[in-house]
Amino acid sequence: MLFPLGVVLLIAAGAALIADPSRWLVFLGGVGALGLIDDLAAGSPRGLRGHARAALRGRPSTGAVKAVGTVALAGYALAGRGLGPAEFVAATGVLALAAHLGNLLDIRPGRSEKALALIAVAVCVLSWSLAPLRPAAALLGPVAVCAWLTLRERAMLGDSGGSMTGGMIGILLVTTLSVPLLWSALALLIAISLYGEFRSISSAIERVPLLERLDSLGRVN
């Protein structure tokens, strides 16, 4: 079994929290911890439908706990930012679903990390500044190391690492997008999540030559 790099990211988040106890780092560490619980739960249902069926049968799964916990952590991270009700709802949804997106993409080595890199470049170019990277800056280096290892298939992110990487994407979006764009991002994340529930995201990526080339870039095979 490959080593779960989410543990490394959790340690990095914990160390960063000691120096900078920010709500963003609490969010990232929290979703990573929830993902680790899911990693360690043998036989846990997979997918939104699997978790929903388990909950309806009176057997709440670790995934259901992770979903509720992620929303609560997102709300905590956004508290005190002076957001209006509509913006708060949109931002909470973006943070929670971005963390889920990190796991959806992690079915291929390095894919979640590449998505984070692309979003980071995009928001920095749009704002013409590196300031958008500040809330998650403490974890950018560890994620880069993780990408080097996962692309060579020497380790894997796991649900913990995927959730943290996706959570960083969510933070980049929430802290840079205007309210209309935030709602657009939420709609897109919902669409991707639903598509991933019924169809293969990998197959969709392979049908788009540019995405397929980016997806395979740096992978050993």
**Does the structure show a pLDDT above 60 at 63?**
yes
Q: What is the pLDDT of residues 157-210, one digit of tens each?
A: 888 899 999 999 999 999 999 999 999 999 999 999 988 888 888 888 888 888
Which of 34-38, 47-51, 128-132, 171-175 is the least confident region?
47-51
DSSP per-residue letters across 154-220: SEE-HHHHHHHHHHHHHHHHHTTS-HHHHHHHHHHHHHHHHHHHHS-HHHHHHTSHHHHHHHHTT--
In the structure encoding, which two tokens stand for residue 22, read together?
Answer: 């920010």
Report the amino acid identity of residue 116. Answer: L
Q: What is the dihedral of CA 12, 112, 100, 64, to 10 degrees?
A: -70
Q: Is the pLDDT of residue 61 over 70?
A: no
Name which residue leads in pLDDT, 98 or 59.
98
73-109 b/e (C-beta count within 10 Å ≥ 16 → b)? bbbebbeeeebeeebbbbbbbbbbbbbbbbbbbbebb
Average pLDDT, the chain: 85
Q: Compute the Cα dihedral for 200, 201, 205, 207 and give only its sign.
A: positive
Which has the higher per-residue pLDDT, 220 or 205? 205
pLDDT at 96 over 90: yes
What pLDDT was estimated at residue 37?
A: 84
Q: Is 194 exposed, middle or buried (0-12, 13-18, 19+ CB in 10 A)?
A: exposed
Choose the weakest-confidence range: 60-64, 82-86, 101-105, 209-213. 60-64
pLDDT band at 92 (very low <50, low <70, confident <90, very high): very high
pLDDT bucket at 212, cuts 50 / 70 / 90: confident
Distance between CA atoms of 104 and 208, rounded to whole angstroms? 18
| Closest by Cα among 197, 160, 132, 137 to 10 | 160
> Could you state, in order of their start, the residue ranges of all structural domains in the chain?
3-216
Residue 53's pLDDT band, with cuts at 50, 70 and 90, is low
What confidence tens digit (pLDDT) does each residue in 1-37 have?
Answer: 456 778 888 888 988 888 888 999 999 999 999 988 8
Residue 68: closest CA among 103, 105, 30, 21: 30
* Average of per-residue pLDDT across 141-161: 87
Alpha helix stretches (DSSP H) within 106-157: 111-127, 137-151
